[in-house]
A = this chain, B = another copy of it.
Amino acid sequence: MNADQGTSPSQPPTIYDVARVAGVSIASVSRVLNGQRNPRAETRERVLQAVAQLGFVPDQAARALSARLKEVVGVVVRRPQWYDSSAFADEDENLQFPDMINRGMEFVAQRHGFDLLIRTVDLDEPDAGRHIFGLARKSDGLILHDRVLSPEQLDRLARQVPVVTLAGAPTPTTANVHGDNYGGMRELARHLIHDHHYRTFAFLAGHEGSPDSLDRGQALADEVAASGATLLQGEQWRGSYQATGGAQAITRLIADGVALPRVIACANDQSAMGVLYALALHGIDVPGEVAVTGFDDIPVARHLRPQLTTVRQPIQALGATAFETLYSMIGRTDPGQDARGRDIALPTTLVRRESCGCTPEDRSPVFPPRAPALPADPNTRQAD
């Protein structure tokens, strides 16, 4: 008899419809739905009944406008850049790492009723910054992966909305979350130097200016210097955090007739994948002739041949921590004891597999679980 009967997409019911059916005011409907000020049992009952009958779910744009809270966090991921953009439009290469971080964010975000608005930006694009400011107006706060804004833009953005960066550096108005790059690479370097007695090294860097890459490279350089070993240097050891970048760098070095070092320590696992690929193509044995290591311990690292020795970052925890940090900044007007300005480092662990020259003693018949992927919920006594 009414419009709701048709099969065509009818307008969803509004709070007015619920109020009418329940015979109460919209204020009462709002109150029972938001658990405010204990409505009378009967009122509550009638409202709930009407809500169920109509299948009412509040429109979140209206709610956001009124409550000044969207319950949405914007996430900006950097789109990989290419040396040769036409031949390698295969951007999916490095999907894994940022996506695992996002998964960690999402997990904790859900516990707070938040959703993630994900946006990939191409830094080559002229107004990448404008898109990020636009995203900010669809969200309550922003999490930025890996340097997507200039310091000036970042400052201007952080003045309008809470911002947390990943793999960046904290500013007075933003917080930063990262893995313990220096400590992780130091542990790996010591293993290579003292346990394996390797003497010549190269660090295949990530993209230019990346703080993660800088810290990792510095740790390796320091340990190599301390032990009197040799570190090859130069722009030819610049990668891109991608498999293609790693493969191309090695291919070029070999083509140029450069003597390879005993160890190639890569800025991340993706690069190492490309390096392994290129070395295999040229018949160079890993780890027999050249040892290769990564950083991150993305899930595929253990599926490579040889299995990749790497430094495990608590990838999902990075995302979870970034979200929790941002969440603590949202809706807070007092710039008092909040997270702004903090630099949060999460511990890493060395994972020795085969590509460094180790022989794993015990291989479990199934995949080793990636222990505590996420921190316990600090806001809940009991997991639900």
Q: Whose C-beta in chain B lies nearest to the C-beta of A364?
A: B281
Tell me if A45 counts as interface (CB < 8 A to partner B): no
> Cβ of A363: which chain B residues have Cβ within 8 Å of it?
281
0/1 string, A82-116, CB within 8 A of B gives 1: 00000111111101100110110011001000011
Q: Which residues of B contact A370 (CB under 8 A)?
A: 89-90, 92
Q: Which residue of B lies closest to A315 (CB)?
A: B92
Closest Cβ neighbor of A8 among chain B residues? B335
Q: In the complex the two chains form, what is the Cα distance from A157 to B365 in whole Å?
A: 43
Known: A90-B299, A251-B366. A7 touches B243 (CB 8 A): no
A280-317 interface code vs B (CB 8 A; 1 in, 0 out): 01000000000000000011100111000000000110
- Please give, as numbers and ranges, the residues of chain B lying within 8 Å of A316 by CB-CB distance: 92
> Which residues of A are at the interface with B, using a C-beta cutoff of 8 A?
7-10, 12, 55, 57-62, 64-65, 70-72, 74, 87-93, 95-96, 99-100, 102-103, 106-107, 110, 115-120, 131, 133-138, 156, 158-162, 172-173, 243-244, 247-248, 251, 273-274, 276-278, 281, 298-300, 303-305, 315-316, 333, 335, 363, 365-367, 369-370, 373
Q: A9-B173, A92-B96 are in contact. List 18 more A-B contacts (CB 8 A).
A: A7-B172, A55-B156, A55-B160, A59-B65, A71-B138, A87-B366, A91-B103, A92-B298, A92-B316, A103-B120, A106-B119, A107-B120, A115-B138, A116-B118, A251-B366, A274-B367, A277-B367, A303-B303
